[in-house]
Structure 1
Amino acid sequence: MIKRLIISMVTLSLVISTMTACSGKEATKKNSDEKINVTATIGMITDVVKEVGGEYVKVVGLMGSGVDPHLYKASQGDIKKLDQADIIFYNGLHLEGKMVEIFERMAKKKPTIAVADNIDRTSLRLGDEKMGTEYDPHIWFNVAHWMNATESIRDSLIEFDPSHKEDYQENAEKYLKQLEELDHEVREKVASIPEEGRVLVTAHDAFGYFGDAYGIKVMGLQGISTASEAGTKDLIDLRDYLVENKIKAVFIESSVPRKAIDAVIQGAREKGHNVEIGGELFSDAMGEAATPEGSYIGMVRHNVNTIVNALK
């Protein structure tokens, strides 16, 4: 009886040891293979996370092509994606104005990073206090600012997953090099526009950082946020500016209705000045996935080429 009991205890011990060993292997394998679940807001951030995170991240973007982040309201499906994420990246500076409370709630449970926080506040443009924006949130239009945002994403991934630190650093270094080259390219192309013709007129004031960084005057019909509406005086003032300064082209935006811009164009024509649509620019959203404009670099390059071709 005692002998049987000893044999049973030894057998049970071996079974437990085997199960524990198997569980340990499965846990290690799962941890080494499992990707980091990332949820990002705008497409520009989603794109950078993919570039820096590479094979170690699975990225879900909430806002696709043509979506206006200023007016975006999170759906129940979005809340689920945020809940399931290991890390959340958003722009900040009140770009995603209707989601602020959600981010504050998520930050209590998981890393929730505003990529704009990595940028020196003294280098930011002032926003519109009436719309609750202390600073202009459209930081991606200065490529140097977007390099800072890239570094913020890199550092956050390293902090969360230090085991792949070298990979994140290498991926970021390659991408930052591409951004540096893009910055030089933009400067050269804008400089090719005759100085008196360097005036960019758009549907809303999203291109201020672009104008400051690359030496072009920017005018938007609406304010920094599309939640603001252009009034009759705004339409008249812009119309008169176009006529008096003989501006030959204005630009529509993929994420902003063109009705107000069309009204300005019609008003200028009634004053005897013909203004053309210079092309469509991507402002608060990138192009469709799998197109050149569906990446941050491709979007910037499209915008610059469109502006230069129309104004040169």
Structure 2
Amino acid sequence: MRMLTKSRLSGSVHRLFLTLIFIGCLVVISACRETPTISSDTAGKIKVTTTIGMITDVVGQVGGTHVEVTGLMKAGVDPHLYKASQGDIAKLDKADIIFYNGLHLEGKMIEILENMSKKKITVAVSNNIDRSKLRSGAQMETEFDPHIWFDVRHWIAATESIRDTLIKHDPANAEEYRTNAEAYLNQLKVLHQEVTDKISTLPEQSRILVTAHDAFGYFGDAYGVKVMGLQGISTASEAGTKDVIDLRDYLVENKIKAVFIESSIPRKAIDAVIQGAKEKGHLLIIGGELFSDAMGEAGTQEGTYIGMVRHNVETIVNALN
């Protein structure tokens, strides 16, 4: 009888032990699912993959020597139409952290990014921007306009989001991230004031910016410029004949002298507007090339966010003056 009791007691203890192990495993698995962690060697650089060049630039500025950043979209690439290649997916898969714009800018990559978020730290830099300050994206059948970088104040918020993400997931280098971010944020604040001052030199009646697609809405709202785009917010749908005629008539009636092309958008439709105006006896000139959805070539002034904004503002002011 004693031996039977001891056997039963031993069996109960054994079952309890196995149950505790099972529960512990479930907790660990659950934690891993909820909070992706950086898998790289803490002694090495954090591998970061980004979508658009503007984000790539900021990550390099804030991350400094502690990050190895890879950007998927190069100069002249339209993010609205961009489809990820197998090589891009491999770069995303190898990353410790993924940063993207969000707000459906990378429309054809949404499913890939959602899948990556299940196993990687995947952050939309637009997430922390007050939604009440975002423009409607109704033209592209989305909730918000994704071209947030054209209001420098929104890009300040995006920079803070990148800083906070790096600090959270690499606390060992938090102080350097804070220092780098503070220096870059100060540059952005100076840039915002610089843009405000330069646009203010234009007579109000001359502050009309006509471009290939409606990417400059935030710029117009922030700095007091009327913006007209031949295409809508997204480039996924082409401008029709009516769009060309309507814009041509507006430019002729209001004696607008200059229109602008964009580095990432074909100029065919803008050329049609210029030709149509010419047939009406009105001369339209190309005021210059602006960088809208993509920055310039790496190693150039326009290949950085700040340099791109400065180039755009100088081009606009020189043409409209």
Give TM-score, length-normalised by structure 1. Answer: 0.89
Which residue, out of 49, 63, 83, partners 2:93?
Answer: 83
Alignment-derived partner of residue 121 in structure 1: 131
Q: CA deviation at 1:194?
A: 1.0
Contact persistence 1:253–1:280 (CA under 8 A): yes
Shift of 1:33: 3.1
Structure 1 distance, partners of 2:194, 2:109, is 35
Instruction: Verify: 1:54 aligned to 2:39, yes or no.
Output: no
- Aligned pair count reads 282
Counterpart in the other structure of 1:92: 102
1:307 aligns with 2:308: no
In 2, the alpha carbon distance for the partners of 1:51 and 1:274 equals 43
**Runs of 4+, deviation exceeding 2 Å:** 30-33
Offset, 1:57: 0.1
Which amino acid counterpart does residue 181 of structure 2 have in structure 1?
A: A
Q: Distance in 2 between matches of 1:228 and 1:128?
A: 14
Partner of 1:64: 74
Query: What are the residue-to-residue correspondences of 1:3-22 with 2, within 5 Å?
Result: none
- Paired residue secondary structure (2:273): helix
Deviation at 1:132, TM superposition (A): 3.5
Cα distance, 1:118 vs structure 2: 1.0
Q: Which residue does the alignment assign to 2:210?
A: 201
**3-state SS of the aligned residue for 1:219?**
strand
Name which of 248, 251, 273 aligns with 2:257: 248
Question: 1:73-126, CA deviations, whole angstroms, 9 ceiling, x for partnerless residues?
Answer: 000000000000000000000000000001110000011000001101000000
- 1:184-199 mapped onto 2 (5 Å cutoff): 184-199=193-208
| Secondary structure in 1 matching 2:102 | coil
- Per-residue deviation at 1:223? 0.3
Report what 1:281 is aligned to.
290
CA distance in 2, matches of 1:207, 1:165: 34
Q: Distance in 2 between matches of 1:240 and 1:160?
A: 54
Letter in 1 for 2:154: H
Q: Percent identity?
A: 74
Q: How does 1:146-157 map to 2 (within 5 A)?
A: 146-157=155-166
Give the match for residue 267 of structure 1: 276
- One-letter code of the match for 2:123? I
Instruction: Flag the 1:31–1:79 CA change in 2: closer, same or farther, 3 A.
Output: closer
1:42 aligns with 2:52: yes
Which structure 1 residue ranges, 5 or more long, are not aligned? 1-29
Alignment partners' CA distance in 2, 1:33 and 1:311: 52
1:18 counterpart residue number: none
TM-superposed CA distance for 1:165, in Å, is 0.7
Q: Please, what TM-score do these two structures have when normalized by structure 2? A: 0.87
Unaligned runs of 5+ in 2: 1-39
User: Secondary structure of 2:126's partner?
Assistant: helix
Give the residue type in structure 2 aligned to 1:257: P
| Matched residue SS, 1:227 | coil
Superposition CA RMSD, Å: 0.9
Residues 1:229 and 2:238 are matched in the alignment: yes
Q: How many angstroms apart in 2 are the aligned matches of 1:190 and 1:203?
A: 20
Q: Is the 8 A contact 1:94 1:132 kept in 2?
A: no
| TM-aligned CA deviation for residue 128 of structure 1 | 2.4
* Secondary structure, aligned partner of 2:277: helix
